[in-house]
Amino acid sequence: MTPAARQAAALAILDHWLSGQPVEAALTQWARASRYAGSGDREAVRDLVFRAVRQRRSAAALGGAETGRALLLGLARMDGAPPQDWTGDGHAPAPLTPDETARLGAPAPELPRAVALDCPEWLLPAFDAALGPATDAVLSLMRERAPVFVRVNRAAADVAGVIAELADQGIAARLHPLSAWALEITANARRLRTTPAFAQGRIEMQDAASQAVAERFLDAAPAGPVLDYCAGGGGKALALAAAGRAVTAHDAAPRRMVDLPARAGRAGARVRVLEGAASGRWPAILADAPCSGSGSWRRAPDAKWAFSAERLQALCAVQDSILDACAALTAPGGVLGYATCSLLRPENEDRVAAFLSRHPDWRLNAQHRWSPCDGGDGFFLALLHRP
């Protein structure tokens, strides 16, 4: 595909997304209908689409409309690089109109702060309240593509050996300061899933801040078994098991854990998957609760635009119920780790404060927030102790 044909595909996909179709579904639909597109074409189209989704407000403001075509023209205006070969011939987009040509040639205006930061208007005060003077730096990073990380399985490999093994596969990796086992992939990340290191369980795909959450929790957790109460796909359960803990994984929707047994087997990890409700008393529980995902919106940028105040309120109620359920499962002297991949105070500090008001016998040992400025996704962890 020519660059212009890739842009035509991207603007059509963006139009489907803007009309209400999930962006992943729109990409899949295009790929199935475009068998002629090679892997490089699919990757290029995907990258272009996701950049436009991340930078929707600023691109629309510079492009003059909320259409796929205007978003791509807005990105071109940001880059100071008018699109080439928009001739309308073959698979290329239609030629630029006189208005579009004039817009691209005009100096870019100064955009309102929320628009320039590609933030929904109603959320900017919430980010300011949570992040203070770091807000603009964090939201600017959220406009860009997220780094790719893997976790070295400490039970099966060492960091230096994995770096060398990946280098032999043409994949560049470097140690990341957020975790002793986190590697940032700096070249050829798309090859990772085809490597022996991945197939044989020496590495797992996991954000560096997510790894830091698991390590910080382990440092505080008493010896003994661990209950991962909101296990989801099981990334943190595997990280905990790699450190030698006996881990039991639970999730309100067990189908989310369907791949966990195979992943645990590949990694040589000891993880028991619960099919029903959790029971008993546990010395250590980690609850990575459902949340807005605002700390990882650069990985799933369409979620940013679909999020609402009503959804936030509903999530806070779910988070309260999870904390109360975990409190009943925590043994005396135990530790409950409450985590989210959110940057917002209502889902983090406010939920912890509400929990402590309902459970005055509990104590907050520590809480920590990781932001994208630390290198990974945004995460929050509170360590709660039951005397």
Residues with active-site annotation? 341
- Separation CA 151–CA 202 (nearest Å): 8
Nearest to 347 by CA among 302, 307, 299: 307
Which amino acid appears at position 69 of this protein? Answer: R
DSSP SS3 for 379: strand
> Which parts of the chain are beta strand (E)?
148-152, 172-175, 182-187, 203-205, 226-228, 247-249, 271-273, 282-288, 330-340, 363-370, 379-385
Assess contact for 129 and 121: CB atoms under 8 A. Answer: no
Measured CA to CA, the distance from residue 191 to residue 170 in angstroms comes to: 9
Q: How far apart are the first and last CA of the chain?
A: 64
Give me 23's structure tokens.
């962006």
Q: How many whole angstroms separate alpha carbon 281 and alpha carbon 336?
A: 12
Supply 300's token pair: 């799933």
